[in-house]
Amino acid sequence: MKIQSQCPENMIPHTFEKVYPFGSGKIEKVWERLNKRETFCAGQPFPYKVEFESGKSTGDFYEGELNIHHGPLLSVHGAIGKVENNYRDLQYFYGSYVLSFRLVRPHRLEFFREGSHLRVRLSCYVRPWFKGWWQRGNEFFWSFFERTVS
């Protein structure tokens, strides 16, 4: 089943990546937290929310699990992809958007455990004129992530 489109003609692919050094003693705990529902469900500022189709807000993710992160100007819904020892991804469905479906369409969020580092990769389709704004917005947003999972 097809869950996402190719990049629309009026948009360009954009990939944001950030690497977080956690140290060898901390990366195991970070990776464990990263694979738990409660890390993403608890502490979401109102009116934003992360929900899973199972109705559970705690416990480990499983491959194929449906979820949505939603709130004003945000609707990113998809399925947990591979959950492995050093890799996890979330594949967003067609129709997911940030700000507007005409502006930013996320299609994949990936996490890589590389030794004592964590690499995050967010792949989206964006309007060309918005690319710089989107890059700066992600730099700001993901600057808080390290404290969230630590």
Closest of 97, 117, 120 to residue 107, by C-alpha: 97
Tell me the pLDDT of the chain averaged across its residues: 95
Phi-psi region of 115 (alpha: psi -120 to 50; beta: other; left: phi over 0): left
The percent of residues above 70 in pLDDT, for the chain, comes to 100
**pLDDT given for residue 55 in this prediction:** 94
23 versus 79: which is more confidently predicted? 79
Does the pLDDT value for residue 150 go beyond 90? no
- The whole-number average pLDDT for the span 57-73 is 96
- pLDDT bucket at 149, cuts 50 / 70 / 90: confident
Residues 118, 112 contacting (CB under 8 angstroms): yes
Residues 7, 97 contacting (CB under 8 angstroms): no
**pLDDT given for residue 11 in this prediction:** 98
- What's the predicted TM-score (pTM) here? 0.95
Alpha helices, H only, the chain: 27-34, 37-41, 131-141, 145-149
pLDDT tens digits, 10-37? 999 999 999 999 988 899 999 999 999 9
Does the pLDDT value for residue 148 go beyond 90? no
Return the SS3 of 109: strand
